[in-house]
Structure 1
Amino acid sequence: MKYTIQQGKKKHPVLILLHGTGGDETSLLEVGNLIDSDATKIGIRGNVLENGYPRFFKRLTEGVFDEVDLAEQSKQLHETINELIREHSLLDEEIVLVGYSNGANIAIRLLLDYPDSYQKGILFHPMYPVDIKETKSLEKTAIFASFGKADPIVSMSESYRVSDIFSSRKASMTEVWSVSHQLTYEEIESASQWLVKQK
């Protein structure tokens, strides 16, 4: 998988930056800098193309995930992250998944499937219309999520579903609400303040 890395300071988090549809490995670098300028930032590009736009997994239709591809792509993404952490000697640093839209959606899968590897997530405008059979506790997991009250892509019911996925599994869940699907400075600032409190 294509990636870019900005090395940060020791004792600061490693932000794994996962873009939205049509983005790439550089799309969230500035967002990462606003969240924590001293963190190591690793931006990763999704492997899937939809009408020429990079994504992290396929859709069957708008709002309907290809769950087989989601499983395959999330496993490959997990393996890529592990390789990058080892390659850049970041084993002692704390990983924080930072995803926007499609990137936030695959971050949810990583948080659910690999809770020993990922225990902090910043999810901007996620949705997860997937029947989840896994019920393991996420009591060590802390989530920041932002949603839009008039988001044309993610309905309020889908937003509440994401919140319930984590809170019902005993994760610490922090929510902020904006207006639409667009990522705002206020959301990023709230995420930054949240991350400081997690240290």
Structure 2
Amino acid sequence: MSFHPLKYRFIAAAEQPGQRPTLLLLHGTGGDENDLLNLAEELTEGHVNLLGVRGNVLENGLTTRFFRRLGTGIFDYDDLRFRTDELVETLKNVSASEGFDLSKVIALGYSNGANIGGAILQKYPQLLAGAILWRPMLPLPDEKPATSNGAPVLLTSGQTDPYFQPANMKAYEQLLTSAGFRVQHEILPSSHNLTQQDMTLAREWLKTNFSI
């Protein structure tokens, strides 16, 4: 099975885009490359590059996703591994064509996008400069990452989210921490939807870790 480039939208930083970080925006189920742009612009105010990508999988021929699932909350792990490799290949190619620094990429993912963002951390633990993962699950339970680059990772879960499994997230935290990632996990009084608290935490995290 060969890779197919993911469709994307790139918005360069207002100044010195080649030297600025790039937010890799990973939408939730049914989204596209534009879904998280407004939220990302609100968080960063033009100080970073924004790269929104669209998942290559269509569920039931209609709903965009980054990888297949076998049922609610049940991942197709083989497809997730393949789609993670496909996304990373796209990221490398777009970095070369758009001229941004691949070593300064920060993933910002929601739900399905958070899960493929997490799979990048597991399969390519030296690649990302950091990651904000909203409403994630442990993507690949049997994939223990090698030593990471020590990148910071923010995980936010919703306490009443039907997808939230405390034991699953505890295992996720431990897996990332054991690989050397600097993990901050916040459990918020919400369901699967994003809240202003997610935005506040993300803004503080970006300021603390990247001076954005």
Q: TM-score range with shorter-chain normalisation?
A: over 0.9
TM-score (norm 2): 0.87
In 1, the alpha carbon distance for the partners of 2:65 and 2:143 equals 25
Residues 1:17 and 2:28 aligned together: no
Residues 1:120 and 2:130 aligned together: yes
Distance 1:163 1:81, change over 3 A: same
CA contact 2:21–2:101 (8 Å) conserved in 1: no
**Structure 1 position 30, deviation (Å):** 1.1
Which one of 155, 160, 177 corresponds to residue 145 of structure 1? 155
In 1, the alpha carbon distance for the partners of 2:11 and 2:92 equals 17
| Partner AA of 1:43 in structure 2 | G
- Which structure 2 segments of 5+ residues have no match? 1-5
Secondary structure of 1:132 counterpart = coil
In 2, the alpha carbon distance for the partners of 1:157 and 1:93 equals 32
**Structure 1 position 92, deviation (Å):** 6.7
Secondary structure of 2:113 counterpart = helix
CA contact 1:5–1:42 (8 Å) conserved in 2: yes
In 2, the alpha carbon distance for the partners of 1:133 and 1:23 equals 27
In 2, the alpha carbon distance for the partners of 1:98 and 1:133 equals 21
Distance 1:16 1:63, change over 3 A: same
In 2, the alpha carbon distance for the partners of 1:30 and 1:22 equals 17
Identity %: 32
Distance 1:77 1:135, change over 3 A: closer
1:31 aligned partner:
39
**Structure 1 position 167, deviation (Å):** 1.7
Residues 1:95 and 2:100 aligned together: no
2:58 aligned partner:
49
**Structure 1 position 12, deviation (Å):** 3.0
In 2, the alpha carbon distance for the partners of 1:129 and 1:191 equals 21
2:8 aligned partner:
3
Task: Compute the RMSD of aligned alpha carbons.
Answer: 1.6
Secondary structure of 2:175 counterpart = helix
Secondary structure of 1:115 counterpart = coil
Secondary structure of 2:133 counterpart = strand
| Partner AA of 2:202 in structure 1 | A
CA contact 1:99–1:122 (8 Å) conserved in 2: yes
CA contact 1:139–1:172 (8 Å) conserved in 2: no
In 2, the alpha carbon distance for the partners of 1:114 and 1:170 equals 13
Secondary structure of 2:40 counterpart = helix
| 1:143-164, Cα deviation, whole Å (9 max, x unpaired) | 0111111111222333323222
| Partner AA of 1:23 in structure 2 | G
Secondary structure of 1:181 counterpart = coil
- Residues matched between the structures, number: 199
In 2, the alpha carbon distance for the partners of 1:92 and 1:167 equals 23
2:3 aligned partner:
none
CA contact 1:129–1:158 (8 Å) conserved in 2: no
Range 81-90 or range 6-15, more displaced: 6-15
Residues 1:170 and 2:180 aligned together: yes
